[in-house]
Amino acid sequence: MKRRRESVLKIAVIIGCLLLAGAGVFFGAQFVTKTGVFRVPGVVYYDDNLTEEERAAIAGVLEDDVVLDKDVIVKVRHELILPALAENERLVGVYVPVTGFYNDETDVVVSRADELWPNCDCGWRMIDVSELDHTQKLLSINGRYYLDDYAGGAVFRIISFESEKYAEEISPLVGGLFQSEYPRAETVTTLAQTGVTAFSRLMNAKMDVVDSGEYFAAGLSDFLSKYDFVHTSSEASFYEAASRSGATGTPICSDPRFIDTLKAIKLNIVELTGNHNADCGYKAAAETVDIYRENGIRIVGGGKNADEAAVPLVLDDGGSEVTLLAYNLSTGGATLGNYPGANQYYEEVAAAQIREAKARGNLVIVDMQYYECSAYVSDIEDATCDSPAATPGDEVGFFRHLVDLGADVVVGTSAHQPQTYELYGGGAIYYGLGNLFFDQYRWPGTTRSLILVHHIYNGKILQTEVRPTQYDGDFVPELLDAESSEAFLNRLKGSRP
């Protein structure tokens, strides 16, 4: 009996040991593999370069009331060129270099993104692109300008989520994070405004030699054709018997073949506030309006009659509406009732049109054919007309008054020589753009012009680039090189009021 009890006890001990060993193996395996009762939830590891706001946002979806199966490593990196983002990456910031509006710097040269942001000990500032506006000057980085291609010219901040189960576990949780909208080609409206175009006289004679409208556009067609809207202020109507003489005072009329020059630069807005559009008669002026429309070119500041000439031009592209208003003041050429001509400036009408456009939430650009400074008629370089004070009348006071009425940008489109520009109030004023296409090549001042490139996003101007051009006796304008451009713009800025 005693032996039987001992046997039973031994068996019980053996069974107990086996059960205990099995439990040890079972729970030991769980301990080693961190499963079962010993399971440890996935841990989120954060890069030290994350901001407090970024870390809090991530913790809110990956840690609060969430048990992850696998660890997650959250990393940050900065790039000078925007890469194709992987599935587990998010673009969380775009930072651009800016300096003062009148500063002569144009480019930043660096080898790494971290040289610029977040700690930039330099002569410019790095800002979030959402803070960019027309009162600052955007700089390029290593020759790339952000508003040209949106994949360079900035520091791109990228966050990545590394996990063995990213697709099934992490992606659903972080999908709604960091969905900020950044400017891109599809959402930014670009408008290039150019100065005086007057295909006439010696240019007509040159046309007979080259027999090609595209010839005159060759220096600017690649540059201008990339913008949504391209504008010029034309002062010459098309006329088959246009003069080939270079004599001053002969009618300013254009060989009809010059329509191909405008098409080559992708012109789609023509301003008719000039004082020479009826030089070859009302019939030619009216037929010219038809030619523009047949070629898909929209008209502002002039037309076949006074009512037509007074209609504002509204540009709706990329989510931003722009109202372009254009007037003629005291330079002649205004429409008389039912005759073709320019839109005469009347204070009460202009004030009402600006007010109505602003009430619609539009950005307002006012072009003005004003009195002309004529001190450029010299064979030597003469900077007199750089200053608006040299123009008859109170150009400074009048243009500033238009900003006071509500205009965001005021542009002088009558000057045959470029003039200075300035910030005033909440707007910007460009007193004169000079000659884009004309036969005035003997005087240094009249061979140059300014092209304004407005980059418009969410109803505001992010930047207006100022790009000088120049032509010679071949009548083919080209952009000035960087060094010449900087010197010329600095000269103009030195004459601001």
Q: Which residue has the tokens 């060993």?
A: 21
- Domain borders along the chain are 44-174, 189-493
Is 247 exposed, middle or buried, given 0-12, 13-18 or 19+ CB atoms closer than 10 A? exposed
81, 268, 217: which is closest to 156 by C-alpha? 81
Question: What does the pLDDT look like over 357-407, one tens digit per residue?
Answer: 999 999 999 999 999 998 877 788 899 999 999 999 999 999 999 999 999
The set of residues, in sequence order, having a beta carbon less than 8 Å from that of 428 and lying 6+ positions away, is 134, 408, 409, 410, 421, 422, 461, 464
Element (H, E) at 205: helix 202-210
Q: Kindly report the number of other CB atoms within 10 A of residue 249's CB atom.
A: 7
Single pTM value for the model: 0.90
Residue 250 is given by DSSP the state: S
- pLDDT-wise least confident of 142-146, 285-289, 378-382, 414-418: 378-382
Q: Which two tokens stand for residue 375?
A: 């001190």
111, 76, 80, 84: which is closest to 95 by C-alpha? 80
Q: Which CATH architecture has domain 189-493?
A: 4-Layer Sandwich (3.60)
Q: Specify the higher pLDDT residue, 17 or 364.
A: 364
What per-residue confidence (pLDDT) applies to 38? 47
Q: In degrees, to the nearest 5, what angle opens at C-alpha 280 toward C-alphas 345 and 395?
A: 30
Report the alpha-carbon distance of residue 32 to residue 142 in Å, rounded. 53
Question: What does the pLDDT look like over 202-257, one tens digit per residue?
Answer: 999 999 999 999 999 999 999 999 999 999 999 999 999 999 998 888 899 999 99
Question: What does the pLDDT look like over 311-333, one tens digit per residue?
Answer: 999 999 877 899 999 999 988 99
Say how far residue 390 (Cα) sits from the centre of its chain. 31
179, 158, 169, 196: which is closest to 275 by C-alpha? 196
Report the alpha-carbon distance of residue 254 to residue 251 in Å, rounded. 9
Cis omega before residue 118 (within 30°)? yes
417, 428, 402: which is closest to 470 by C-alpha? 417
Produce one character per residue of 17-48: b if its CB has 16 or more CB atoms within 10 Å, e if not. eeeeeeeeeeeeeeeeeeeeeeeeebebebee
